[in-house]
Amino acid sequence: MLPALSLVAVQDGCAARLSGGTAARVANGNAQPAAFVGFSWEHSCLDLFTLLTMPQISLQKEEGKSNRPCFPGRSMGSRAAASVIRQLSQDDDDDFIQGLICLSYPLHRPKLQSKLRDEDLLFITCPVLFVSGSADEMCEKQLLEGVASKMKAPKKIHWVGKANHGMAVKGRTTEDVMEEINAQVFSWLRENIELEHE
């Protein structure tokens, strides 16, 4: 089990603060309400997520808390998290956020690869992990790799072979796919995030 880590988990625009021990549940998108610590909400609007999250993070910064947060998000949740991190990075203290984990980042709409949702990613400077399916209809492989090559931030991309946007892979169980995802997430956390030992 990982030491204490401040995570703000975002799935499809919903968010909850989690302890490090529940990061695996975040990765598979099945975090249970009992694992949520602090706050949660059901709205999927990016602006609402930003409105509610920014005061929480700003308060942490003002109080000088040592457990700087990391933002994991799934699908539109990862886009919302990227938006918040970009806004925070405009401050002088742009290293307060330790990292961003994007599970199934929705880089574009299905069959609409000409309009990329990369505007926030290009301004982020904290470490970023992308975990996407190689058959994701909302994140074409070459396009994400192209965006990643332009990013200022340290980044890593892990492709789950033949997985779609929902991380379903024909011939593999959900548990098997989630074990692969969790292994990548925890390995990246250990390499990139400063953990607070209790």
pLDDT at 92: 52
How many helices (H) and strands (E) would you count in the chain? 5, 7
- Pull the structure tokens for residue 61: 């910064």
Residue with tokens 């690869």: 113
Residue type at position 77: G
Report how far residue 61's alpha carbon sits from residue 93's, in angstroms, rounded to the nearest whole number.
9
Closest of 39, 35, 41 to residue 21, by C-alpha: 35
CA dist 109 and 179 (Å) reads 27
3 state SS for 19-44: CHHHHHHHHCCCCCHHHEEEEEECCC
d(CA 189, CA 147): 22
**pLDDT tens profile 152-166:** 999 999 999 999 999
pLDDT at 96: 77
What number of other Cβ atoms are within 10 A of residue 75's Cβ?
23
Could you tell me how far CA 35 lies from the centroid of its own chain? Answer: 17
Q: Which residues of the chain have pLDDT under 50?
A: 1-6, 11-55, 59, 196-198
pLDDT in tens, 167-179: 999 999 999 999 9
Q: How many residues does the chain have?
A: 198
